[in-house]
Amino acid sequence: MITPEALTALVQVNIPFAFLLHGYLDRFLARGLNPEIGLDAWSLNHYPPRTFREIARTFQRRARQLTLHAPFQDLAPGALDDAVLAASRRRLRQAWRWLPIFQPLAIVCHLGYEARHYRHDLESWEVRAAATFKELAAIAAAHRVRVMLENVYETEPELFWEVLQRVKAPNLQVCFDVGHLLAFGGGDFECWLNALWPVIGHLHLHDNQGHEDDHQALGSGRVPLKYVLEFLAGKGRHPIITLEPHQEGSLTPSLQFLSQIWPW
């Protein structure tokens, strides 16, 4: 069994960019954590380029493995409204400009499908979303970065296959968020894993009780974490893994729990 201390070198831990400037950078460095840095819209608008470069260099000097999370709030990568689509693509391109500076393994972005908005014209949404991610995947490929499409409110895994098949980019894969599937997506882990395992390149791990996206410590909720990890390990998949603790004090128990069920 791997120790929690050894596990810190093998996983990412999410952190909004602004938090790194308010005390969390020192914590990450002291604990040897690999960050998944959230490039939110506010940070992209308000911090000067030198601040992003300084944070990137600080982690790179410590030989930390980096991943990024693209902005997602209010964005609609497959929007049917041309103005909304243009604004969403512009914001995502703003984050993509930082790929050569951070040199991440991957950048995560939300697929952004919600049935209540788009089910009446699904094909048009698919065409537009695929065009968005085709452009972004091509830019990322030039920097050897993988693009991971994350589930949030999607209830059908086939949507991800449809976009991937339209884009046909080797560096475009799926970020399977286990907490979102339980809280928002119906919780059919067997269905989603059987449908998507060949293209799952990233996992977001956090826990909840199935009602809200609480981001509890691993092992404190109802997400079948052991089943998910053992399923993927059994298929020969070893995705990037990001822990998403949103409460103070939940990282340590998450690492302890994960070390007990680590299948690789």
118-161 residue pLDDT tens? 999 999 999 999 999 999 999 999 999 999 999 999 999 999 99
So what's the pLDDT on residue 248? Answer: 83
The residue extents of the domains of the chain are: 4-261
CATH 3.20.20.150 fits 4-261, yes or no: yes
Q: Over the stretch 189-248, which tens digit does the pLDDT of each residue have?
A: 999 999 999 999 999 999 999 999 999 999 999 999 999 999 999 999 999 999 999 888
So what's the pLDDT on residue 179? Answer: 98
Cβ pair 17, 55 in contact under 8 A: yes
| Token duo for residue 110 | 């939300």
Q: Over the stretch 88-107, which tens digit does the pLDDT of each residue have?
A: 999 999 999 999 999 999 99
So what's the pLDDT on residue 1? Answer: 83
Whether the per-residue pLDDT at 168 is higher than 90: the answer is: yes
